[in-house]
Amino acid sequence: MDITGILTAIEASWLGVTIRDVAWLFPMLETLHFMGLCTLFGSLMVIDLRLLGIARFIPMGPAMSFVPISIGAFLVNLCSGIGFFCADPFTYYPNLAFRIKMILILVAGLNAVWFQYIEAPKIKSLPPGTSTTLTVKAIAALSLMLWTGVIVMGRMIPYLEDWSNLQ
């Protein structure tokens, strides 16, 4: 099956049809997406600013307790984002901003997995006020930059509709 067939199947799916047919569903998903993004970015700021050493007054344990909040907020955005895509895949798929956003999310996810499984076990026992390693600081800075890029690219989606016309 080619990409047009796949996108047609997604558009015709029960989820795509429901989101298009129920008048209040798309605006509700937009609201949830925005709230999820605010929660995700806010919780990541607490974690990443502590890791960067900017907020050393926050003990590492309480800062790291925001990780489940970040994961929950990400899942809200994942579900609402899938809904957006299913409702109008022919608008999202060719969109340059959407594609860049997806790449940034993938890289941010890999960055988070690296931090969570490689670096986090080493820092959980750091005493209050202690600085983290340069590697941890780089991961935290990259996290903030990537998620800022995700936000910017998300806002650019309506303005970069079909990137093939830009070439």
Q: 86-136 pLDDT, tens per residue?
A: 999 999 999 999 999 999 999 999 999 999 999 988 887 777 778 899 999
Instruction: Give residue-wise pLDDT tens across range 27-38.
Output: 999 999 999 999
Is the pLDDT confidence value at 167 over 70? no
* Pairwise CA distance, residues 123 & 161, whole Å: 43
Distance CA 11, CA 84 (A): 10
Q: Provide the pLDDT for residue 145.
A: 98
- The CA-atom distances, in angstroms, between 112 and each of 70, 90, 106, 123, 139 are 11, 30, 10, 15, 8
Extents of the domains making up the chain: 3-166
pLDDT over 80 (residue 17): yes
